[in-house]
A and B are shown apart, each in its own frame.
Chain A
Amino acid sequence: MRSYKNTADTISTVGSMLLFLLFAVCTMMIIVTAAGSYSRINDNYTTDFTASASIRYLSNKIKSSEKVELSENGMILQNGVIANIIYFSDGGLYEKTVAAGSEYELSGGNRIFELSGVEIKETEELYKITVNVGEKTSSAIVRKGTE
């Protein structure tokens, strides 16, 4: 009788510990899965947002400018007596406003987006904007304005 009770107690104790272990393992698995899933979703969202927002930003800047001049690291957008210089440097897209026709340096601008690279090409009637954010490359075409 006593032996049976001891065995039952042992099984109950070991079983409780196993149950707790199972709970801990399940909780850990769910936390790890949740962290991975959240991280992936967050990275994708940040990448997509940065890529599309930077393309739209550049498109709108080009469309709203009277004169667009492409340079090695970006472009110069002229509106009357003001020129906006948008350039890529040090892993980011920067913008700087200067007086049109004045001397300028590609430093001291406002950082707008964190990017891996920007390329703006010009054809006869179009501009092609290519933006690299991490491993993602996104391209868009913008029609030239009537200068």
Chain B
Amino acid sequence: MKRSTKRPLNLFFIEMIISLLFFSISGAVILSVFAGADKKSRAGETLENVIVFSQSVAEVYSLNGDYDETMKIVTSECGKLDDKIIITKDEEKSENAAGTFSKLTLIFTENGRRIYDFTCAAYVKNGGSDERT
């Protein structure tokens, strides 16, 4: 008799614990999904900025064929990228009697993760005039 009177209360507490557990797990999963979506959105924004920046770099580099001069112009006109983004460059130059051919590869990394890389080139004739590449 004593056992039967306690049963409803015990069942209720078990139900409550299971419900709380369910809400907690659901909340945690949903919040982590939202956080992931927000993170991807920010990553997309960063990538978009990097691509527009790269486009400007390619345009200016095709004029002068010089990395330092290009970055100086682009950062002064378009602003700097986020400090978290590290740019690694690889520049090759080959000269001949008519002019200099330059090839620039830029690799953009954020927190050690490679997010974008591109290559552009320029041909600058001797004497300063240039040709589109």
- Measured between beta carbons, the chain B residues less than 8 angstroms from A48 are 44-45, 48
A142 to B79, CA, bound (A): 15
Which A residues are CB-close (under 8 A) to B98?
Answer: none
Residues B59 and A143 in contact, CB atoms below 8 Å apart: yes
Q: Are B38 and A40 touching (Cβ within 8 A)? A: yes
Bitwise interface map of B from 54 to 92 toward A, beta carbon under 8 Å scored 1, else 0:
011001101100000000011001110000000000000
**B interface SS class:** helix
What is the interface of chain A mostly: helix, strand, loop, or mixed?
helix
Which residues of the other chain, A, contact B16 by a CB distance below 8 angstroms? Answer: 15, 19
Q: Is the CB of A139 within 8 A of B31?
A: no
B5 contacts A5, C-beta separation under 8 Å: yes
Asked if A103 CB lies within 8 Å of chain B CBs, one says no
- State which size class the interface on A falls in: 35 or more
Are A141 and B48 CB-contacts (below 8 A) given A12-B9, A22-B20, A128-B77? no
Chain B residues packing against A (C-beta within 8 Å): 5, 8-9, 12, 15-16, 19-20, 23, 26-27, 30-31, 34, 37-38, 41-42, 44-45, 48-49, 51-52, 55-56, 59-60, 62-63, 73-74, 77-79, 132
Interface pairs A-B: 7 shortest CB-CB? A141-B56, A139-B78, A37-B34, A41-B41, A143-B59, A48-B48, A26-B23
